[in-house]
Structures are given as C-alpha cells and as structure tokens.
Structure 1
Amino acid sequence: MTTEFDLGRLLSERGAERYELHTRYLNHQLPRMLHTIGFDKVYERAEGAYFWDADGDDYLDMLAGFGVMGLGRHHPVVRKALHDVLDARLADLTRFDCQPLPGLLAEKLLAHSPHLDRVFFGNSGTEAVETALKFARFVTGKPRILYCDHAFHGLTTGSLSVNGESGFRDGFAPLLPDTAVPLGDLDALARELKKGDVAGLIVEPIQGKGVHEAPPGCLRAAQELLHRHKALLIADEVQTGLGRTGDFYAYQHEDGVEPDLVCVAKALSGGYVPVGATLGKDWIFKKVYSSMDRVLVHSASFGSNAQAMAAGLAVLSVMENEQVVANARATGELLKSRLAALIDKYELLADVRGRGLMIGIEFGRPNSLKLRGRWSMLQAARKGLFAQMVVVPLLQRHRILTQVSGDHLEVIKLIPPLIIGEREVDRFVDAFTDVMDDAHSGGGLMWDFGKTLIKQAVANR
C-alpha cells in the first residue's frame, strides 16, 4: 500500500535525529565543530530576524544565513509570491520559449544600475562569478583574471581560482591562470596589466573576509587602468549588493564607478529559492551570444526558473515599498557608532569598520600585562581564538548568533537581516558590552572556554 508523502509527519518522527543524520550522511566534521563550540542548538522555527528553540527562547540573528536572509526569514510578501507562482501552474523551463518573469526581473534589477543592459540568471553567487569570468575571458580574448588578496568569490573551480585564501585552494590545482594583487594597490594592478594578458579584475567593494573596504577612489582609478588596457572591471556584489551596505550596490558609494559586469545572488533569493545573476553591458552579451549557433553557449538548467524569478521580484518590491536600503543605512550607522564608542573603553577592542549593515569588529593585542599574557597564549595556539571566545558567549549567554569573519582572523562580522532596528541594536550592544566586561575582568567562563579552544587548536595541528 502506497503511503502519501507527509512532510510534517516525517519531521515530527525524525527531526530529533538531525545531528546524527548529518554525521552519518553529510559533512561529518560540521556536527563535531558545532558541538565543540557549543553551537549545536536545535532551532524549531524562525521569523524575521529571530529563531526560537523548543523551549520558546528567542535568538537574534546577526548572520542572516551568510547574507542570504536580507529580508529576514519568511517575509509574507515573498511567501505569497511563491504560493502564487506555484498555483499559476506556469509552463516553466520548457527551454524553447520565453517566459515573462525572467525579463521582468532583469528589468527591475537593471533599473538600479542604469549603465548595464543585460542579465544572465543562474542559481548561486559562485555561478554568477563563473559567468563573469567566462564572459570576460571570451570578449577580451585574454586568459588571466586578477583578484585581491583575501578575496572570496566562491568555491567552484573557476571562482576558486580567484579566491584569495590558500586554505580553500590547497589540493585543488591546477586552476585558471590568475594573479592576486593587494586591495587598493594600483601600482601592482598597473604592473600586471602591462603584461597584456589580463581579461579583468574581480573585486568585492567591501571584502567579506575581515570587512575591508576598497580605499576611496581606488575602484574608479582601477576602472580607468583596466579600460586603458582593454580589460574589464567585475564587481562581486554577491554579499554587498541589494542594500547590504546602505546603497543598492556597494560600488555606488564611489562616484563614477561603472563595472562592466556585476555579480549578485544571496539576498535576491528572499531566503527561499537559490538564484544568482550576472549583469553586464550590451556589447559583452552580444559578443558572447554572437549568433543563433551560440544561443546555448552559456546556460543553466534551472536558471530563470519561475520560483526563483518570483522570489526575486517580490524581494525587489519589498525593498522599494519598505525602504529597506534606507533602513540598512540608518540602522547600520547607529550600530557602528554605538560599537565604535566602546573602543576607548576596552583595550581588547581595536577597530569597528564597515558600511550599512556590514560591520567588522576587530580585536587586538591589549596593553595591560595581565591581559597581554592571556592574549599571547591564544595567539600562540591559533590566531582567531579570541574572536571565537566572543562569538560563543554571545550565543550561549545572550542568544545572539554571529560569526568570526574568516579563518585565523580576530574579527567578528555582523551581517544581520536588513530589517532590524533600534531594538536589535540595543540588544546586541548590551550583550557585546557584557561579554567585553567579562573578557577584561581577566577571569570567568570566557577564559575557561579559551583553554578548551586552545586544546582543540593544538590537537588539530
């Protein structure tokens, strides 16, 4: 007898096995890592900027699924759009017709970057980057892509070739021909361009790893250099785009910057259906798709699917109607200023930087002898342990989810949903102040946990 599929029943019967199932069938190191740092929580539901556990306790999300949940979780407008598109029973993905939703979403996206003309839709940020790399190499006829030290552009083979961290690249060579240049180093860029084989430079206007912004005037100067050498400027806005930094795109904070290709993804999905997009100039697309024989020279099986397009249209509508970009700018300025005011109070707090609701909190070597010894002990075991020591009590004691901004970095990155307001700012700053007070007291549970992290770091060497 055939039993009808019942998702609710399946989750009710087997949901408690979540960590065991992951250990057995997926990445077995993830549950191990979560258990080690005390992040092995069981979240039952989520809405907006909050999760709830089985006991009904709320958790403030300052991570937004690595930036995917720009509007928070389960926004009613996006939910309705997805229900509507499923109920419409569209003739989706026939591959030999032209559905209206991709064109409508492209039109809405391009309205925010009027110097660009066309869009390719894929399924993720890394696909958006792969598209940009392929297009740049094809239209310039040159093989080499430049990227910046410490950049992150994805983990597929092409995007990995422009990933600035050896930890991700090790063991996966050979990759595409590439060269890293320091972020903002125009002399290094010029030296590489003179070699005549550079197709383009891909850059995050604000790097996700460490939250480092391109120096003022750098992107425009880089653009002029690139164009002088018939190379392209590619802006990776996968994390920084769609309002994250207080403007629709982060490159728009600098006048005169008009990238040839722009990559977006993450928040465009509304947190539901994966979607990526590569926006570009008309001449680039016309050169890639130069004839009817080349109509499928670059495509994606699930690209432009109706659910993804509906989610993207709903997201852009919500952003406009609810003034999401303006809120990110105002709330981000409030959060950043409140945190920056603590620098003089805490010697372990070195810097607060970023734009909009993309903020980096950096820790550094203290001056007092008592704290300096503890800091040196952590650094000797593994750089980045102090930042992890801050992240853990934020979750354990204050039910706030954050992340360390990269391996071996003493930086916490805040990328909350763009809908947060003063209430969430107050909650985070109060919790962060409490954790910093504990760290500077020189004792307590925080430093005890530091010993656990040291043992773990030494064991993994």
Structure 2
Amino acid sequence: MNTLPARDLNALGSAGAHGSYDIPALIAARESDRYGLHLTHLNEMMVKVLQTIGYDVGFKSGHGSYLYDRNDARYLDLLSGWGVFAIGRNHPLLREALTSVLAADLPNLVQMDVSVLAGVLAERLLTYTPFLDKVFFCNSGTEAVEAAIKFARRATGRSGIVYCEHAFHGLSYGALSLNGDAIFREGFGETLPGCRAVPFNDLGALEKALAKQDVAAFIVEPIQGKGVHIPDDGYLAGVQALCRKYGTLFVADEIQTGLGRTGKFLAIDHWGVEPDMVLIAKALSGGHVPVGAVLARKGVFEKTFSRMDRAVVHGSTFAKNDLAMAAGLATLEVIERENLVEKTARHGERLLTFFQGLLDRYELMHAVRGKGLMIGIEFGAPRSLKLKASWTLLETVNAGLFCQLITIPLFKEHKILVQVAGHASHTVKLLPPLVIDDGDCDWIERAFETVIADSHKVPGAVWSLGKTLADHAMKARMAK
C-alpha cells in the first residue's frame, strides 16, 4: 500500500517495469512545505532559530562557493557545511565519479570480501602521511574519534584519555566525553569514564596529566575549531615528545583542519610532527557521501586486529562503501589537479592581512587568528562609553550575542553566509570552500568592513537589530 501523499505521487512515473522516481520533481512539489515538515517531524527548534534570525530563505541550489535561494539570489558560502565542501558544491569531477560507480553495477558491501576502491583510497591517503601505515574507514568524524579511543585503549592497555578544554571532537558518547563545551553534555548523563581535560597550548598541564602513565591517548585539534585557537610554534612538538616519554599515543584530530584547509594538506604539516593516529573526515566526502578515516601506525592498528578471530572486533556497516570511497578519491584528485592547497595558502594570507589591518581602526575587534582558509575574527568589549553600554546590554542578556550583529547583516545585506565559532563565542569564523577566487575575496573584504564599520555607529541599524535579538533572548529565557 502506497503511503505517499497524493501530491508526492506526481514524482512517480511509469518508465519501464520499475517506474521512475523524480527527486527534483518531488522537491519542487513539496518546497512550500519545507519548514512545516521540519516543524512537525524533525527539529522544530532549528526552524525557529532560522526564522528568528531571518535565514529562512529556502536555498534551492549550490555550485562551487555559491548558494542560490528561492528567488535566485546568490550567496557566498563561508560555512561550507562546517568544512565539508572544501572542493565546493557539486563539483563536476565528483559527480562524474559517483555516477560512474552507480552505472557500474558494482557488488558493494559484500562484507565477506574486500573493496578495491577502499584499498586504493587508503593507499593514496597514506602518501600524505608516510609515517603512518594503516587506514580504518568509517562514516564520520565522530566515528573516527570513537575508533581512535578504542584503538588507543587496546594498544596501550590503559583507559585514560586526555583532551583539551574548548575542544570539539563529535557528539556520540565517546566523542562527547572529549567535548570541551559543557552545553553539549548537559542533560545526557554520565559520559565515558577516564577522560579529563587540560588547557590547550599548555605543556606543563599536559605533562602533569600524563605523568602517572595511565593515559592511553592525548587527542588534540592542531588548530582548535571552536574559536580558531592556534598553538605556539613549539607546542605540538612538545606534545609529541611528552607522549613518547610517557607511553601515551598522540592523536591529531584533523577532521576540520585536514585536506588543505589551513594551507597545508594537514595542519600538523605546519609544525612537522608525526602523530600515532591522524583523524580525517568532512572534506574527504566531497560533500555528498559521508566518510571518515583513522590513519594509524601499524603497531597501533594491529593490536586491535591482532588475530583472525578479531578481524571484525571493530567496524561500521557502511564503511568502505563504494560511493564513499569514490567520493574520497575524487576529492583528492580535485585538490591535486586544482592546486587547492597552494591556492588556499595564498587566499588565506590575503584575507588574514586584510582583517589584521582592521584591528587598529575598529575597537570592537580584538584579535584575528587563522591559517589558510580557517580564520577567526574575535570581537570584545569596546573602550568608548557609548559602545560599551550597548555591548554590556547584549552580553548581559546572552553571552556572544554581539556576533549576530555581524553575521545577520552580512547575510541579509551582503549575501554572505557565515556564523560564530561556537556556543557563546565572540569569534566569527570563516570556513569557505577552498575554491574561492580573488573576486570572492573582494566580496568578503567589502562586506566585512562595511558591517564592522556599521557596528561602531550608536545609535544605528545594527544596534536596533541588537535590541530585537535581546528581546527575543529574554522572552526565550522567561519561557523556560
């Protein structure tokens, strides 16, 4: 019995014995229900957020660095799906790779066999990390973190895991246990035992945590995504030395920073370190088929898969599926063919220089941090009394609310999609596709300078928006 709504049946055709199913037609038929469907069946709070801040424009297509809304207005995407779309949206080479897999009638996920595509992708990934030997594939960054926790505990016989304050490693239970932001853990009960945090960029605190020799792994983002915090030049080398000294595995979480994002293929390449495991995901997918990977030393990997009867002690049903492996291979091919790592370094240097040049001119700007196309612009309390009073009002209502006075005008008036670097953060984070060009950089520079300049005008349109947001925040707080 067909349970589709009548209007959805229009998307069903009668081409051949099996019929056809026209997904674009289905989307068009239900476009007017976009937000109603989510309010009823999915996360209604997300819809309310979008409607409150005016982001409910109904994006209908994407290409490269750009998104197009229901009225065909073009937006520059500086979120790139939280870093997923490093090669841009709907890259033709990626599409060709995926359609060729579907056309080939490959067996796929036989389980009692091994995949050629998985072997080729693993081989290619390891050329970027010659100090590592093995690859474990999974479906996401958080699954890569979960695997790393298990591999480290098995390889060392220890249970402790050390991570950094303000870190983000995912939201499943093991990864959640390593999350440096309490809001993500609130209300979910006890997390994984044996996990403890140390300050980022603090070797003394790390040594103290490792000295008891009960820590299986120290997992760290080479550049912290929440706030775009960059370590001192000697930090990661010091981390490596301490981990070697105390028998702890050094795990680099490159899930967001990897595959060219920072102007090197991996962020660790800026500092020349060689971790025991490197975790990648996000960009490896090309934005279409989720995939994650743990790159590990042979000795670590083989402690888990140590005998034939342990061949399947850890895995993931859809890991190594042909579409995901093809997406990974196509993504690496695009990165290499289009010299995206080098272009990222060049465009990143240009944008960082521009934003740093604004620091002395705008008192609400406090710092600019970044490498490549991972850039954080931190705002903070101003000196002048008129601005300080307005800032204090917003911060009293909701910490980090000021940044929405930057991101919302950028979206509404300049067609730039960007957001803050984390919960209650004062940092606006740029994470654009690596395929942006000089014209896009011009667009970014013009828009940001205009909006930042407007934020220094009190009274002004930006601060009127601030009052509206503060009112919404107060009503939401009272409704709890």
Tell me if the contact between 2:57 and 2:70 (Cα under 8 Å) persists in the aligned partners.
no
Counterparts of 1:238-249 in structure 2 under 5 Å?
238-249=255-266
Counterparts of 1:52-451 in structure 2 under 5 Å?
52-176=68-192, 177-255=194-272, 257-451=273-467
Separation in structure 1 between the aligned mates of residue 324 and residue 231 of structure 2, nearest angstrom: 31
Aligned CA-pair RMSD: 1.1
Q: Residue by residue, what CA displacement relative to the aligned partner does 1:405-437 show, whole Å, maximum 9, x if unpaired?
A: 111111100000001121111101101111112
Separation in structure 1 between the aligned mates of residue 371 and residue 393 of structure 2, nearest angstrom: 33
Dislocated runs of 4+, deviation >3 Å: 1-4
Separation in structure 1 between the aligned mates of residue 71 and residue 174 of structure 2, nearest angstrom: 44
- Partner of residue 35, structure 2: 19
**What letter is aligned with 2:128?**
H
Q: Which runs of 5+ in 1 are unaligned?
A: none
**What letter is aligned with 1:356?**
G
Separation in structure 2 between the aligned mates of residue 12 and residue 460 of structure 1, nearest angstrom: 34
Q: Residue by residue, what CA displacement relative to the aligned partner does 1:281-333 show, whole Å, maximum 9, x if unpaired?
A: 01111111000000000111000000000010011011111101001100000
1:6 to 5, 12, 22: 22
- Partner of residue 6, structure 2: none
Tell me if the contact between 2:213 and 2:248 (Cα under 8 Å) persists in the aligned partners.
no
Partner of 1:206, secondary structure, is coil
* Number of equivalenced pairs: 460
**What letter is aligned with 1:189?**
L
CA positional deviation for 1:388 = 1.1
Separation in structure 2 between the aligned mates of residue 68 and residue 8 of structure 1, nearest angstrom: 23
CA positional deviation for 1:131 = 0.6
CA positional deviation for 1:196 = 2.3
CA positional deviation for 1:456 = 2.2
% identical aligned pairs: 49
**What letter is aligned with 1:197?**
D
More displaced 10-residue stretch of structure 1: 183-192 or 272-281: 183-192
TM-score by length of 2: 0.94
Separation in structure 1 between the aligned mates of residue 229 and residue 261 of structure 2, nearest angstrom: 14
Separation in structure 2 between the aligned mates of residue 173 and residue 317 of structure 1, nearest angstrom: 43
Separation in structure 2 between the aligned mates of residue 10 and residue 37 of structure 1, nearest angstrom: 28
**What letter is aligned with 2:142?**
T
Partner of 1:119, secondary structure, is strand
Partner of 2:414, secondary structure, is coil
**What letter is aligned with 2:461?**
L
Q: Which runs of 5+ in 2 are unaligned?
A: 3-11, 13-18
Q: Residue by residue, what CA displacement relative to the aligned partner does 1:187-226 show, whole Å, maximum 9, x if unpaired?
A: 1111111222111110000011000012211111111111
